[in-house]
Amino acid sequence: MAYRWKHPQSEKVEKVRPQPKKVDKVKFVRCMNKLRFLRSDLEYHQKELAHRKVEFDAHLLKFMKQHDFTFSTEKAENNYIPVDVQESLNKKREYSSNNMKGDCKKLFKEIVKETHPDKNIGKEERVRKAKQEIFSKCKAALDADDWYTLYDNALNFDIELPAPTNEQIDWLEKECLRIEGIIHRIQAAFEWSFGQPDMSDEQREGLLVKYCMLFCTKKDN
Averaged pLDDT for residues 85-93: 78
| pLDDT at site 47 | 94
pTM tops 0.85: no
CB 186 within 8 A of CB 52: no
Residue 8 confidence (pLDDT) above 90: no
Longest Cα–Cα distance in the chain: 109
- Local structure of 8: helix, strand or coil: helix
Whether the CB-CB separation of 197 and 45 falls below 8 Å is answered with no
Higher pLDDT, 21 or 216: 216
Percentage above 90 pLDDT, the chain: 63
Return d(Cα 167, Cα 99) in angstroms, integer: 8
- Give φ, ψ of 217 to 5 degrees: -135, 160
What tens digit of pLDDT does each residue of 111-148 get? 999 998 888 787 888 888 999 999 999 999 999 999 99
Q: Which residue has the higher pLDDT, 14 or 167?
A: 167
Rounded average pLDDT over 2-26: 64
Mean pLDDT on 87-105? 88
Residue 117's pLDDT is what?
A: 84
Q: Are 208 and 63 in contact (CB under 8 A)?
A: yes
Closest CA to 145 of 86, 88, 83, 97: 97
Query: What value does the mean pLDDT of the chain take?
Result: 87
Is the model's pLDDT at 7 over the cut of 60? no
